Amino acid sequence: MEPIISLHKINKTFKERPDLPPLKVLEDINLEVFDGEFLVLVGPSGSGKSTLLRIMSGLEKSYDGEVKLKAGISSADTSFVFQQFALLPWLTVEENIELGLIGRKISKNERKRRVAEELKLFGLEQFKNSRPKELSGGMRQRVGIARAIVTNPKIIFMDEPFSELDSFTAEELRKELLNIWQKRKPTIVMVTHIISEALKLGDRVAVLTPRPGKIEKVTSNSLPRPRAERSGDFYKLEDELYSLIKP
């Protein structure tokens, strides 16, 4: 099967600041992401996870190596969900979601229809005229995800989307995300530093070494969903990942 994204010999060194020594953050990253899979990148803080995700998504343009998208896929088919939600505070929930569609050739009516569909899916209808600061963290990130998904992207990049949330809310949003993924079948590439989250969500988990990040191993996770976190099989995979990740 042809991958939807392939990374070939990605190397990245930050050297913009002349007053600081160059910082090598990624070394020889080779990775393929397959159509429709849920791939999780996990590694210790500072291992270059966010940098790698930004390179994959096209947000970061300066690097060595090659990022190839499958023929017919362009950056317009991708979306990004940020850890800090990145909503515009002066816009309402409805307008924030609609932002995902601005700049595309979509009529105002069609935009309204698609935003209404996402409001419903995310249980946000009663908050559609609220501003971000009037919402809980969980609701804000629902808006962040709704804005990403309203374009019906083929690929969704997510950088620690749940790590600002309390554990109950994070768990609820993970379930909702899995439902959406199963319904709409996008490819998801998510970054996290939480091993149990990686194993709850991912079909495969790519483990990065400490800086400079290299791919230590890509572990397949075929546990059936919904995944029971307190099961022997889950613990086994968790132990395996803990032993791979070096702080």
Ligand X SMILES: Nc1ncnc2c1ncn2[C@@H]1O[C@H](COP(=O)(O)OP(=O)(O)O)[C@@H](O)[C@H]1O
What are the residues binding ligand X (CB under 6 A)?
14, 23, 25, 43, 45-51, 211
Smallest distance from ligand X to CB 127, Å: 30
Task: Select the binding partner of residue 46 from ligand X, Mg ion, none (C-beta < 5 to 8 A, by kind).
Answer: ligand X
Report how many residues bind Mg ion under the rule CB under 5 A.
Answer: 1
**Is 50 or 78 the residue whose CB approaches ligand X more closely?**
50
* C-beta separation of 191 from 158 below 8 A: yes
**Is 79 or 101 the residue whose CB approaches Mg ion more closely?**
79
- Helix/strand/coil for 107: coil
Measured N-to-C along each axis, helices 137-149 and 167-184 cross at an angle, to the nearest 10 degrees, of 20
Task: Select the binding partner of residue 45 from ligand X, Mg ion, none (C-beta < 5 to 8 A, by kind).
Answer: ligand X
* C-beta separation of 213 from 26 below 8 A: yes
Smallest distance from ligand X to CB 41, Å: 8
**Is 93 or 208 the residue whose CB approaches Mg ion more closely?**
208
Measured N-to-C along each axis, helices 108-121 and 137-149 cross at an angle, to the nearest 10 degrees, of 140
Distance CA 58, CA 125 (A): 32
* Interacting residue with Mg ion among 50, 96, 187, 192 (CB under 5 A): 50
Smallest distance from Mg ion to CB 35, Å: 25
Task: Select the binding partner of residue 25 from Mg ion, ligand X, none (C-beta < 5 to 8 A, by kind).
Answer: ligand X
Exposure letters 164-189 (e unless 16+ CB within 10 A, then b): bbeeebbeebbebbbebbeeeebbbb
Smallest distance from ligand X to CB 51, Å: 3
Residues 6+ apart with CB under 8 A from 49: 41, 42, 43, 159, 191, 193, 208, 213
Smallest distance from Mg ion to CB 198, Å: 14
Task: Select the binding partner of residue 14 from Mg ion, ligand X, none (C-beta < 5 to 8 A, by kind).
Answer: ligand X
**Is 84 or 231 the residue whose CB approaches Mg ion more closely?**
84
- Which residue lies nearest Mg ion, judged by its C-beta? 50
Pick from 48, 54, 57, 67: nearest CA to 209: 48
Distances (CA, A) of 199 to 9, 63, 225: 26, 29, 11
Stretch that binds Mg ion, among 47-55, 57-65, 215-223, 233-241 (CB under 5 A): 47-55
Number of other CB atoms surrounding residue 72 within 10 Å = 8
Residues lying near Mg ion in the complex (CB under 5 A): 50
